[in-house]
């Protein structure tokens, strides 16, 4: 079964990891948001791509959700002693990823080539594709001005009130090699429980992606449980954008893109509402979607695939 997942950071990485570890081996491709990418110390840093890869490789820090496990912080401590910026936590192992990626980019390799090589070094079986090899920075329009994503997200801790989003260069960007084909050839598309505004929307804004998705069976997993995000500012963003945050809001956000949508058991009351809003077109499923450990990732991934198979049959 060919499965293509769209993913951002931590939540998406967890489900992608679960999908990659199912007993029934899938032909899995993960298309990852690169709108969060930025440059610091001259290094090209791709937070979502790294979070996905570290998780797929089993190298992730399960406490923080980002970065490497058994990480050390020697370089960062020295940077602090030189009064350098320490708002973005760069561990020593993580640094190596950015250093070698930057070196290869400067040599002329593309982000997708580099990512494929890194995945091979890390023993990752799934294909991990950046959404684009072109720079596609996300900016956040806020009450404190237009901020580069990491400035908003990490440096200002998501404090500014969001007014909108800019996906710079979206129209001119090309999908990375393999992205459109991975969508076209997939038996099932999974929209991972990532932030719709800043993790999934940037992928959907890549020219050609929405169009390819139209003919496909798309199953989403809600990033919101009980109106709150498991991690990150998704709920806060909905509120600031004038929408009551809930799994229903996410379903409406994706609209006709979705054929199926998995929400948490505790949001059972929303199931009917979501289905009704779609005119009965959208199939809504309830599961325990919180993934607190690797076993729960695999369990949810199994449910996603089971539901996906039903969905594919139905359609």
Residues that bind a second copy (CB under 8 A): 40-43, 72, 74-79, 81-85, 92-93, 95-97, 99-100, 102-103, 106, 117-118, 121
Identity of the residue, 137 or 193, whose beta carbon is nearer to a second copy in the bound complex: 137
Q: How far is the CB of 106 from a second copy (least distance, A)?
A: 6
Identity of the residue, 41 or 287, whose beta carbon is nearer to a second copy in the bound complex: 41
Q: How far is the CB of 150 from a second copy (least distance, A)?
A: 15
Q: How far is the CB of 62 from a second copy (least distance, A)?
A: 19
> SS3 string of the chain?
CEEEEEECCHHHHHHHHHHHCCCCCCEEEEEECCCCCEEECCEEECHHHHHHHHHHCCCECCCCCCCECCCCCHHHHHHHHCCCCCCCCCCHHHHHHHHHHHHHHHHCCCHHHHHHHHHHHCCCCCEEEECECCCCCEEEEECCEEEEHHHHHHHCCCCCCEEEEEECCCCCCCECCCHHHHHHHCCEEEECCCCHHHHHHHHHCCCCHHHHHHCCCEEEECCEECCEECCCCHHHHHHHCCCCCCHHHHHHHHHHHCCEEEEEHHHHHHHHHHHHHCCCCCEEEEECCCCCCHHHHHHHHHHHHHHHHHHHHHC
Identity of the residue, 115 or 283, whose beta carbon is nearer to a second copy in the bound complex: 115
Identity of the residue, 79 or 127, whose beta carbon is nearer to a second copy in the bound complex: 79
Q: How far is the CB of 51 from a second copy (least distance, A)?
A: 16
Identity of the residue, 103 or 214, whose beta carbon is nearer to a second copy in the bound complex: 103
Q: How far is the CB of 155 from a second copy (least distance, A)?
A: 15
């Amino acid at each position: 079964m060919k499965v293509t997942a769209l993913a951002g950071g931590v939540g998406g990485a967890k489900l992608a990891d679960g999908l990659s570890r199912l007993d029934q081996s899938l032909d899995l491709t993960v298309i990852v948001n690169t709108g969060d990418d930025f440059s610091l110390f001259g290094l090209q840093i791709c937070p979502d791509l790294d979070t996905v890869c570290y998780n797929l490789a089993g190298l992730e820090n399960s406490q923080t959700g980002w970065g490497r496990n058994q990480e050390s912080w020697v370089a960062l401590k020295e940077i602090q002693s030189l009064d350098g910026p320490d708002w973005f936590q760069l561990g020593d192992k993580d640094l190596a990823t950015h250093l070698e990626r930057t070196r290869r980019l400067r040599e002329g390799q593309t982000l997708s080539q580099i990512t494929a090589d890194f995945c091979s070094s890390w023993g990752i079986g799934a294909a991990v594709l950046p959404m684009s090899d072109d720079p596609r920075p996300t900016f956040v329009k806020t009450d404190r001005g237009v901020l580069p994503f990491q400035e908003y997200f990490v440096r200002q801790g998501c404090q500014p009130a969001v007014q909108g989003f800019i996906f710079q260069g979206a129209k001119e960007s090309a999908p990375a090699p393999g992205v459109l084909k991975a969508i076209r050839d997939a038996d099932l598309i999974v929209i991972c429980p990532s932030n719709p505004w800043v993790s999934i929307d940037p992928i959907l804004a890549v020219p050609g992606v929405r169009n390819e998705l139209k003919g496909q069976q798309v199953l989403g997993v809600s990033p919101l449980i009980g109106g709150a995000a498991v991690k990150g500012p998704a709920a806060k963003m909905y509120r600031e954008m004038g929408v009551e945050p809930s799994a229903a809001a996410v379903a409406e956000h994706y609209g006709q893109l979705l054929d199926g949508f998995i929400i948490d058991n505790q949001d059972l009351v929303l199931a009917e509402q979501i289905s009704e809003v779609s005119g009965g077109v959208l199939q809504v499923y309830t599961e325990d979607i919180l993934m607190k450990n690797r076993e729960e990732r695999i369990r949810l991934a199994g449910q996603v695939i089971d539901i996906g198979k039903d969905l594919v049959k139905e359609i």
